[in-house]
Structure 1
Amino acid sequence: MFSDDHFLPLLLINILGIAGIIVWHVQGRSRQTGRLIVQILFFTGMSLVLYMGGIAPHKPDDVYTEGFAALLSKSARMLWWTHLAWTIVGFIHIYVRLNHKPREAHLIMDIAVAIIYLGVALSVMGFVFGMPIATLVTTSGVVAVILGLALQNTLGDVFSGIALTLGKAYAIGDWVELSNGTAGRVTETNWRSTNLLTGANNIAVLPNSMLARQGLTSLSRPDETHQITLSVRFVARQRPRFVEDVMRSVLQASTLIVKDPPPAVALKTIDAIAIEVELQFRVATLAMGISARNELIELIHDQCGANRLSLAMPAESLVYVATATSGESSTPSAESRSSRAL
């Protein structure tokens, strides 16, 4: 039996397959390119031996059906299919690395790797051990339906994560804000959830299905700049044009806001009490918003003192008292002002 032409090729395939596994582990995870080269070399050598020996890995062995030779034949075919899977997975890893794919692309890569290993496992059971693949697929389909019903919420998170990844709604490092008010920087995405680092330095773990259902605003796209508005009320004894010029000088004096595009001063409303002005400006990153706002408030205070501008009371703090004569419009009384907000 051992004099058969297939025995030596099968022995050589086993030696190459085991040696390839040892060298593959010695390379380590940090040397992806070296691992891929090893996988290609050993897989190519095993394929050449199979071809020269006339052995078909996709067909059960009809020559050796029992004893040590049969075990050697099955192990050789299993090693070949295993190295095939590793070679394909290695190419996928190198493709992701060379194309500088973001970390969230690993979710799609994990799905591809799982499909490859599943296909190889079915091939081994069908081609090496002669099991009926159709029956296995049917049985696995029934099991998948049962698991799907039992894991509806988890599967919903998984498929929502896939949809968000393919749609590129956000990337690692983006600042996002949800419709429910939750905001933070995306630090990690995985199969089930997305992690946000909030402004309070807490990690918010959000299920992917919740993200898919809610409206999401990316605060980091198309760039990192973020627009902020600051409303100020001035007593209406000054001309609006003068107030606008003073506020424009405040924006020009700021060192923490972005000057391109230039900031703007909008005169929103005017009444008998106050002129309401809105300062519109951008900051380089969302994290600089508080510092920039504090600086502008300090500058506004200084300019008010230098230009004799008086800040008006908030509109909600004014109480209007009706006059004694019916039909006359109500007028504000300075003596009747009270701060309800406080």
Structure 2
Amino acid sequence: MQQWIVPVVFILVGLLAGLIGEKVIFKKLRKFVTEKQIPGSEVIFPALNRMTFLWFVLAGFFGAIVYSSVNISNDFKILLQKIITIIFLYSVTLVLARLAAGFVNIFIRRKEGVPASLISNLAKIAVLTLGTLILLQTVGVEVTPIVTTLGVGGLAVGLALQDTLANLFSGFYLIISKQVRTGDYLKLDGGYEGYVTDINWRNTTIKEFSNNVIIVPNSRLSSAIFTNYHLPVKAITLTLDVGVSYDSDLEYVEKVTVEVAKDVMQEIAPQLIEIEPNIRFHTFNDFSIDFRLYMRVNEYFDQRIAKHLFIKKLHKRYQEEGIEIPFPIRDIYVQNKA
């Protein structure tokens, strides 16, 4: 019975140290780092979550095996040590994969419009794959035959997953070409439109103004005809057709309309006010002389509020200035043959 005392003590010490490390030391250290706002803490501590406890427990079991006087075969001890080593190395690989994905996310956030999920997942998979190969090499498994087998088997898998791989590479193409970025406002050839919220390994997520989500396969989007209203810049030109009476002083109409447009721009896009709005008369219509207003707004979606404000303000100003916006009038002549 005494021969079990040392192994049990090691295991209990490992469990106790793991609980203290996880519940006390780890939490206090995390709180301290968060308060001090140390860079990278938002990635490091989630990556180490639960790992402190696991490593102390593994250390306890490893010590129990090494210093145990229990009568077990040496081969069995070596097997147990290999199992503990594999678990430890895999946990380290998992931590490194989390760190890689987290720091890639931080880096990508600094790059406006670059989707994070696809690249961070790729970084995570790359670290996991490399770590697994190193782990196998460490425990004595020959990696070269495995890599060769995976290379041959990859051809068969590639044929079976053609659609998935097409979406994956299309996603990379969209990101590298910068034709689509997160935050861009797209209008697809099918009439769907909204803001791009993410590009992952399979599809692109577009959020409509109604808060509905459109899921578009990357391969479909890369070959589709669409309009990106945030390229080359977000700011766009709003156009609006207006008509005034033939009795109007067109010089004065132009002056008043531009003043109203400037007032609207000052309210919704003051940073673009140096680009003055303008109008261009273009048609002698049946009931009016028509012109088109050109006014800059911050982005595509701002057209809604800009039109709303402009129409209200212009209608009120025209009434104050006595400028008439005509509407169709039809005169009917009745001939009495009696």
- Range into which the TM-score falls when normalised by the shorter chain: 0.5 to 0.7
Q: 2:167: which partner in 1? A: 157
Q: 1:244: which partner in 2? A: 254
Q: Shift of the alpha carbon at 1:229?
A: 0.9
- 2:117–2:199 CA contact under 8 A, matched in 1: no
Q: 1:116: which partner in 2? A: 127
- 2:104–2:119 CA contact under 8 A, matched in 1: no
- 1:256–1:291 CA contact under 8 A, matched in 2: no
The residue type equivalent to 2:76 in the other structure is: F
Q: 2:97: which partner in 1? A: 89
5+ residue gaps, structure 1, are: 1-11, 47-64, 318-333, 337-342
Q: Does 1:264 align with 2:277?
A: yes
The residue type equivalent to 1:68 in the other structure is: F
The one of 37, 44, 58 aligned to 1:33? 44
Change in Cα spacing, 1:37 to 1:81, as seen in structure 2 (3 Å) is closer
- 2:239–2:293 CA contact under 8 A, matched in 1: yes
The residue type equivalent to 1:89 in the other structure is: A
Q: Shift of the alpha carbon at 1:225?
A: 4.0
Q: 1:60: which partner in 2? A: none
Task: For 1:158 and 1:208, locate their aligned partners in 2 and report how far apart those are by CA, in whole Å.
Answer: 7
Q: Shift of the alpha carbon at 1:106?
A: 2.9
The one of 259, 283, 287 aligned to 2:297? 283
The residue type equivalent to 1:112 in the other structure is: A
Show the 5 A alignment for 1:170-181: 170-181=180-191
The one of 109, 113, 134 aligned to 1:101? 109
Q: Does 1:303 align with 2:317?
A: yes
- 1:193–1:207 CA contact under 8 A, matched in 2: yes
Pairs aligned (count): 288
Change in Cα spacing, 1:94 to 1:288, as seen in structure 2 (3 Å) is closer
Which stretch has the larger CA shift, 200-209 or 269-278? 269-278
Q: Does 1:67 align with 2:79?
A: no
Q: Shift of the alpha carbon at 1:265?
A: 2.1
SS of aligned partner of 2:115: helix
The residue type equivalent to 1:122 in the other structure is: L
SS of aligned partner of 1:99: helix
Q: 2:307: which partner in 1? A: 293
Change in Cα spacing, 1:149 to 1:188, as seen in structure 2 (3 Å) is same
The one of 194, 198, 206 aligned to 2:204? 194
Per-residue CA deviations over 1:156-215 (Å, capped at 9, x if unaligned) read: 111212222344444433323334443211233322112212133321111111222235
TM-score by length of 2: 0.66
Q: Does 1:185 align with 2:180?
A: no
The residue type equivalent to 1:250 in the other structure is: V
Q: Greater helix share, 1 or 2?
A: 2
Q: Shift of the alpha carbon at 1:126?
A: 4.3
- 1:283–1:292 CA contact under 8 A, matched in 2: yes
Task: For 2:20 and 2:163, locate their aligned partners in 1 and report how far apart those are by CA, in whole Å.
Answer: 41
Q: Shift of the alpha carbon at 1:231?
A: 0.9
Change in Cα spacing, 1:147 to 1:268, as seen in structure 2 (3 Å) is farther
Q: Does 1:234 align with 2:244?
A: yes
The residue type equivalent to 2:80 in the other structure is: L
Q: Shift of the alpha carbon at 1:289?
A: 2.5
TM-score by length of 1: 0.66
Change in Cα spacing, 1:292 to 1:101, as seen in structure 2 (3 Å) is closer
- 1:89–1:113 CA contact under 8 A, matched in 2: yes
Task: For 2:235 and 2:18, locate their aligned partners in 1 and report how far apart those are by CA, in whole Å.
Answer: 51
Change in Cα spacing, 1:167 to 1:256, as seen in structure 2 (3 Å) is same
Per-residue CA deviations over 1:106-153 (Å, capped at 9, x if unaligned) read: 3212112212222333333444243x4333223222332222212211
Q: Percent identity?
A: 25
Change in Cα spacing, 1:148 to 1:25, as seen in structure 2 (3 Å) is farther
Task: For 2:275 and 2:93, locate their aligned partners in 1 and report how far apart those are by CA, in whole Å.
Answer: 56
5+ residue gaps, structure 2, are: 1-9, 31-40, 59-72, 333-338
Task: For 2:95 and 2:164, locate their aligned partners in 1 and report how far apart those are by CA, in whole Å.
Answer: 31
Task: For 1:142 and 1:279, locate their aligned partners in 2 and report how far apart those are by CA, in whole Å.
Answer: 63
Q: Shift of the alpha carbon at 1:232?
A: 0.9
The residue type equivalent to 1:158 in the other structure is: L
Q: 2:143: which partner in 1? A: 133
- 2:117–2:198 CA contact under 8 A, matched in 1: no
Task: For 1:194 and 1:253, locate their aligned partners in 2 and report how far apart those are by CA, in whole Å.
Answer: 38
Task: For 1:86 and 1:142, locate their aligned partners in 2 and report how far apart those are by CA, in whole Å.
Answer: 27
The residue type equivalent to 2:117 in the other structure is: H
